[in-house]
Amino acid sequence: MIRWKKVAAAAAIAVTTALAVTACAGGSGGGGASGSGGTLTLGAIAAPTTFDPAGAEWGNRAPYYQAVFDTLLLATPDGTIEPWLATKWAYNTDNTVLTLTIRDGVTFSDKSKLTAGVVVKNLQRFKDGTSPDAGYFAGVKSFAAPDDTTVVITLNAPDPAMLNYLTRDPGLVGSEASLTSKDVATNPVGSGPYILDTSATVTGTSYIYKKNPNYWKPDVQHYDNLTINVLSDPTAALNAIKAGEANGVKLVSNDNLKEVEGAGWTVNANELDFQGLLLLDRAGKMQPELANVKVRQAINYAFDRAALLKALQSDNGTVTTQVFPKTSPAYDSALDDYYTYDPAKAKQLLAEAGYPNGFTLNQPSVSLLGASTYTLVGQQLADIGIKAKFTEVAPENFIADLLAPKYGSSFMALEQNPDWQLIQFMIAPTAVFNPFHYQDPKVDAYIKQIQYGDKATQGKVAGELNKYLVEQAWFAPFYRVQGSFATDANTTVKMLPTNAYPAIYDFQPKS
C-alpha cells in the first residue's frame, strides 16, 4: 500500500522548492491581457530553440511556429486531418507515393509566392535538418515538384503516419529566401496568421507577434496581436493567472487547479500523455531480470495505479495499463485494468522467474518529474522485493542518458501518438524509445501488417498488437494524465487530441 505520510513530506519539499524558485525569478508578464480580439496573451512552458523550420519542434513549442508558419495539413480538435496549404492529397495503389496539391494565391510575409518548389525545399531541409523529429522522414525516398502546384512524396515503404506528420513540424513551410538567410534562426518568414516582431521580442522570455495583413485565411485570425510568454515555473504561471496577465496558460502540472478555477478561469483538459515505467531492456543486456516476461508482469502487478493517480495527480487522469490512446482503433477498454494491484501475485511471478528474493532495479531519476514519484515507485517495488536504485540525472541529460541507453528501465511521461506514429516512437526496432532495439518476431509481423494493410486491417491488427504488448508487459503504464490548459473568462479554446498545446486558430474571444 502507499504510505501517505512519506508522500505528503515529499510533496511539501516539492512545493517549498517551487516557491523558492519563484521568489528568485519573480512574476511573469505585465501590462495586462486583452480577451476582446485585440491581443491574445498566452503562457507556454518552454521557449523555442530556433525559428528555423528545419530545426523546429512541436508539442509545447508548437504555438511559436504555428503563429508564423502554416503547415501543409491541419490537425483539428475533432481528430480529423483537413486541407491547409495543401488543398487535397492522394496515394497511389500501394501507398508509396503521396501527391499533394498546393494552394494557389498564398504569399509569405516577404511578399514571395508559395509554390510546390518552395514546399519541396522545406521538406528536404527538414529531412536533413536538426529537428528531433527529422526521423519522421527517414523512410522518404524523394520529394519532387513536377509543377508549381504539385508535390510528390515518394516513400521507400508505406508510412501510415505521413499525413499526421504533415500537420506538425515536418509540414512547416518558410519562404525560400529566408531558408538561406543568416538570421533564419531568429527571424522567421512564413505565410502564417502572424508575423514575429523581432524588435519587441525578448528571446527566451516573451515573443511578440502582429497580425499578418495579407493572410490567406483571415477567418481564423481572431486577434490583432499575439504575445507568448515563457512560464515554465508553476508558481509563476499561477501568479500570472491570478494577476490577469494572460488569456491562456499551459499548466505544467495539475497541482493548482482549484486555485486556477477560483480565479475565475476555465481548465480545458485532454489526456495525451501516459505516465509509468518504460521496461526498455527486454533482452536483458543491461538488466538481465527484465528479459523474463514474468518479471515484467510482476512489476505491473506491483503498482496501485488508483492510489498513484490520487497521490501524484489528484485523480486528474485515468488508470491504464496500455500505451495506445482512446482515440486509436487499437484501444481496448478492457486493457485499462489488465494488471490489477496484486503484490502477492507479483511475488509469485518473481519466484517462478527465479527471483524469490527479488533483485535491484537500476533507474534514473530527474527533478522535473517530482520527488514524490520516485518515493512511491521505490516503495511499491520494495513491497514485492525489488529494490529500486535511483541515480539522479541532470534535467538536460535525462533523455540523452535514457536513449544512450544507460538504464534498462525508467519512469517516464510519453505522448500517446496516433497508431503508426506511436509504433515508430516506442515499439519498432528503430523507434526512439526502443533504445536497445529490442525485437520480437510476433511484434515485427504485426508491424508489417499494419504498414502494408488497408485501413480496416491496420485497425484490427493494431488492436492485436496492443493486446500482445500488454500481455508481454513491454511497459508498465500507471495512468493517462490529464493535460490542462487554463483560459480566462474572456477566452475559449478547443483542445487537440494529438498535441499538448492547442492550435493558435482554436483560441477565440468570447462575444
Burial class (CB within 10 angstroms; exposed 0-12, middle 13-18, buried 19+) of 235: buried
Element (H, E) at 211: strand 206-211
What's the confidence (pLDDT) of residue 253? 86
Burial level of 425, CB count in 10 A (0-12/13-18/19+)? buried
User: Which CATH number does 51-182 carry?
Assistant: 3.90.76.10
How far apart, in whole angstroms, are the C-alpha atoms of residue 413 and residue 326? 17
Cβ within 8 Å of residue 435, ≥6 positions away: 280, 402, 403, 404, 405
List pLDDT tens digits, range 148-205.
Answer: 999 999 999 999 999 999 999 999 999 999 999 999 999 999 999 999 999 999 999 9
Q: Cα-Cα-Cα-Cα dihedral of 422, 423, 426, 430, to 10°?
A: -130
Which pLDDT score is estimated for 370?
A: 84
Q: Where are the domains of the chain?
A: 51-182, 271-482
What's the chain's Rg over C-alpha atoms? 23
Range 271-482 classified under CATH 3.10.180.10: no
Question: What is each CA distance from 192 to 184, 356, 499, in whole angstroms?
Answer: 16, 61, 19
Cell numbers standing for residue 49: 530553440
Cell matching residue 204: 527566451
pLDDT tens track, the chain, 511 positions: 554 333 333 333 333 233 233 233 233 333 345 545 799 999 999 999 999 999 999 999 999 999 999 999 999 999 999 999 999 999 999 999 999 999 999 999 999 999 999 999 999 999 999 998 998 999 999 999 999 999 999 999 999 999 999 999 999 999 999 999 999 999 999 999 999 999 999 999 999 999 999 999 999 999 999 999 999 888 999 999 999 999 999 998 888 999 999 999 999 999 999 999 999 999 999 999 999 999 999 999 999 999 999 999 999 999 999 999 999 999 999 999 999 999 999 999 999 999 999 999 999 999 888 889 999 999 999 999 999 999 999 988 999 999 999 999 999 999 898 899 999 999 999 998 999 999 999 999 999 999 999 989 999 999 999 999 999 999 999 999 999 999 999 999 999 999 999 999 999 999 7
Q: Which residues pair with 492 in a beta bridge?
A: 508
